[in-house]
Amino acid sequence: MAREETTGFMAMKGAGYYSKATVGAKHVMDNAAQMVLDAVDRMGLEKTSGVFRATDMGAADGGTSLDMWRRVLAQVRAQAPDRPIEMIYTDLPRNDFSQVFQIVHGLTGEATYLDEVSGVHVMASGTSFHEAIVPAGTLDLGFSATASHYITAVPCNIEDHVHMVGASGETRQAYEDKGASDWDNMLAQRGAEMKTGARLCLFNFGIDEDGRYLGNTGGVNMFDTFALHWRSLLDDGIITEAEFANTNFPQVYRTQSQFVTPLKDKQSAAYKSGLRLEHVEARVVRCPFEQAFSEQGGDPRQFARDYIPTLRSWSEPTFANGLSRDRSAVDRARIIDAFYGRYEDMVAADPAGHAMDYVHIYMVCVKE
């Protein structure tokens, strides 16, 4: 099988930048941990034996999910005292897996479940979640947060924007079609990996019934702001037309109905793999940086300095990838710094409405 185009994607900023800057993603998981605990409850682990295998797919540095896993693995241990637990962190090959091990093994100072839950064996995989990660019929609990919006390849460039949420017509349709086929395949891969009775918990970026999505919950639209500043670099002759055109987030935000479709369609690969929907809901989790600023006040420049890294932690690779390979590393870094500097100056000058609120569609599936 051909490697997917985005397998070489740079993943999140490494060296711990991701989880330090992205506390909101941790809130998403901590707030919804009960859904995973309930799913584990329904598995009836008391009567089972053998290795209990779990995956955290698209885990980045593993820091944001650490507290959620502390609760989940403690419950698995309580209900299955004798089963060895295999905890597999997965992400793209260029992910900073060293950071995963440093965080989970307690080298960064965070409290780790390894000190609390016995018999946990931590491992990692650099295989994309669009492919088979573990052998068929061996997975007990699949989990992924804030990652399934990454598609295998962008279907086309987006005119005058950088994200499919800013696309219309045929371009929008091409992204939605790509999102639909990747999603069906991604679910089917999980269905094949799972044991009968296993659970799959997915907390996905999406578009809710009010049309809200990440960074678009009523204030300034974050993706429009990305496009605005990227275009300003073009207008100022700092990047080229080709670089603007080649900058496209390899992502699709799906609606709840789009998420659910393959789980209801008997002809889909996901359905045929035995996956069935147990639960779905949409939630908005408030941007912690905007919340602190609006409740406690303070210097707008400081808010801007605190806020921009949470956008930068996950968006920088897409902008860096859009730049010509002929540029030196120094030149690329200068352009990327200028880009986020413009965004920061805008927020500092008028912070009202800037917020990266998280909009997720939460799903729990069972393998029949």
Ligand X SMILES: C[S@@+](CC[C@H](N)C(=O)[O-])C[C@H]1O[C@@H](n2cnc3c(N)ncnc32)[C@H](O)[C@@H]1O
Sites of contact with ligand X (CB under 6 A): 11-12, 22, 25, 57-60, 64, 90-92, 95, 128-130, 145-147, 150, 314
Token pair in block for residue 67: 């507290």
**Quick one: angle between helices 169-193 and 256-264, nearest 10?**
50
- Nearest partner of 253 among 105, 146, 130, judged by Cα: 146
Q: How far apart are CA 198 and CA 339, in angstroms?
A: 45
CB 23, min distance to ligand X, A: 10
Shortest reach from residue 53's CB to ligand X, in Å: 17
Residue nearest to ligand X (CB): 58
* Residue number with CB closer to ligand X (348 or 356): 356
Q: Which is nearer to ligand X, 217 or 315 (CB)?
A: 315
H-only helix segments in 265-364: 269-272, 288-296, 300-322, 329-349
Q: Which is nearer to ligand X, 145 or 158 (CB)?
A: 145
Shortest Å, Cβ 10 to ligand X? 8
- Least distance from C-beta 146 to ligand X, angstroms? 4
CA distances from 170 to 174, 175, 247 (A): 6, 9, 18
Residue 102 or 146 with smaller CB distance to ligand X: 146
For the chain, the farthest-separated pair of C-alpha atoms sits apart, in whole angstroms, at 66
Asked whether 157 and 248 are in contact (CB, 8 A), the reply is: yes
Both structure tokens of 236:
């100022």
For ligand X, the closer CB: 12 or 348: 12
